[in-house]
Chains A and B, each alone.
Chain A
Amino acid sequence: MSKFGTIAYHVCRLALAVIFIYAGMIKADDVVGFAGQIANYRILPYAWNYLVAATLPYLELLCGILLLLDKRVRPALLVLFVLNLVFIAVLTSAILRGFDIDCGCFRPNSEHPSPPQAALIRDIGFGVLMIVTWLLRSVQVRKEVE
């Protein structure tokens, strides 16, 4: 892989790592508040909102740490990409149902809430970044094998 490709890969990887470590840490810090934000989407039964709020931040955090360490990058990217698809589906559902809610993507009960529309555009951007990182990683692995 060219020097530019290597730099691009590491920039993308580190950007995703920082985003998801940040998102995971602040949500893990307020599980009950995050459960309330998941509940705003009115998709899961009451107690299941708590279960998702208790576990999802650790998945984001773990994947972010693996990206930061440049270890198990493709499994971490795959998990985050699937999560991102779920977020996009849920946000689209909220928009179609006319919900004016905070997306709950980062800090629960934030003073500066993100509407679902803005969060949807951001998540599509994250998805593109993940695909680019995956492709750059594949090129890098192929080069290492050769």
Chain B
Amino acid sequence: MSNPLLSPALRRTLLEAVVLCVFAFAVGVSINFRVVFDAFSGRTVSATRIAQTAPVVEAQPDAAQPELFPFPAMLEELDALVADGALLVDARNADAYRAGHLPGAVSLPLGELDAKLAGFKEQVPLDRIIIAYCSGYGCPDSFDLGVRLLQEGYAEVLVYEGGIPEWHDAGRPLEGAGQ
């Protein structure tokens, strides 16, 4: 039975519009499969950045020491890591930290690292597990901070790439928010 509200031409237009959407969706997901898959599985940019940076390291066989990269940490792993004594480190600027941060996190903005690193190293032993985070969505500060902390001698540094937005979307509370 035909719908009197829709002429055959309009029905065909609607059908073609749906096909367009499905085709574009399939193309977008195919091309960006890794990004989408990583986002839905809790890993976002770290692995990609390591893959992009690694060949540069391999091209310098004479380097005195190999460059180290932090591993990604997923949201589901954070609780167990923190219970094991891991320290959450907020790589965003101080204002963003004051506006709200992960519970128990300390502030170490990448932009102020040179000024604050000595004090940080006095308070945090080198064998403590560090989990750096920032604003998610490819925010590079946590990864760059992780690389610097590894270079400074910290043995185990992880990056929580989901950062503040994933934490917040998971319904978890932020410390300092709304104060």
**Chains A and B form a bound pair:** yes
Which residues of A come within 8 Å of B, CB atoms? 28, 31-33, 35-36, 39, 45-47, 49-51, 53-59, 61-63, 66, 72, 74-76, 78-79, 82
Of the candidate stretches B33-41, B106-114, B147-155, the one touching chain A is: B33-41
Q: A31-B35, A47-B39 in contact; A79/B20 too (CB < 8 A)? A: yes
Q: How far is A138 from B19 in the complex, measured between Cα atoms in Å?
A: 21
Contacts of A74 in B (CB 8 A): 13, 16
Instruction: Identify the closest chain B residue to A75 (Cβ).
Output: B16
- Identify the 8 closest CB pairs spanning chains A and B, nearest first: A36-B137, A55-B28, A32-B138, A50-B39, A54-B32, A75-B16, A59-B24, A58-B28
Instruction: Identify the closest chain B residue to A57 (Cβ).
Output: B28
Taking a contact as CB atoms under 8 Å apart, the answer to whether B24 and A46 are in contact is: no
Instruction: Identify the closest chain A residue to B48 (Cβ).
Output: A32
Contacts of A59 in B (CB 8 A): 20-21, 24-25, 28
B25 → A minimal CB distance (Å): 5
Taking a contact as CB atoms under 8 Å apart, the answer to whether B28 and A56 are in contact is: yes
Number of B residues whose C-beta is below 8 Å from A?
31
Interchain Cβ contacts under 8 Å between A and B, 30 examples = A28-B28, A31-B32, A31-B35, A35-B138, A36-B136, A36-B139, A39-B165, A46-B165, A46-B166, A49-B39, A49-B165, A50-B36, A50-B40, A51-B40, A54-B36, A55-B24, A55-B28, A55-B29, A56-B28, A58-B25, A59-B20, A59-B25, A59-B28, A61-B24, A62-B20, A62-B24, A72-B16, A75-B20, A79-B20, A79-B21
Contacts of B39 in A (CB 8 A): 35, 46-47, 49-51
A104 → B minimal CB distance (Å): 11
Contacts of A33 in B (CB 8 A): 137-138
Q: A46-B169, A56-B28 in contact; A79/B137 too (CB < 8 A)? A: no
B27 within 8 A of A: yes
B162 within 8 A of A: yes
Instruction: Identify the closest chain B residue to A51 (Cβ).
Output: B36
Instruction: Identify the closest chain A residue to B24 (Cβ).
Output: A59
Q: How far is A57 from B139 in the complex, measured between Cα atoms in Å?
A: 21
Taking a contact as CB atoms under 8 Å apart, the answer to whether B16 and A54 are in contact is: no
B119 → A minimal CB distance (Å): 31
Mask for B95-115, Cβ within 8 A of A = 1, else 0?
000000000000000000000
Instruction: Identify the closest chain A residue to B14 (Cβ).
Output: A78
Contacts of A66 in B (CB 8 A): 20
Instruction: Identify the closest chain A residue to B75 (Cβ).
Output: A46
Taking a contact as CB atoms under 8 Å apart, the answer to whether B17 and A79 are in contact is: yes
Taking a contact as CB atoms under 8 Å apart, the answer to whether B20 and A63 are in contact is: yes
**A75: which of B17, B35, B137, B169 is its contact (CB, 8 Å)?**
B17
A70 → B minimal CB distance (Å): 15
Contacts of B35 in A (CB 8 A): 31-32, 35, 50, 54
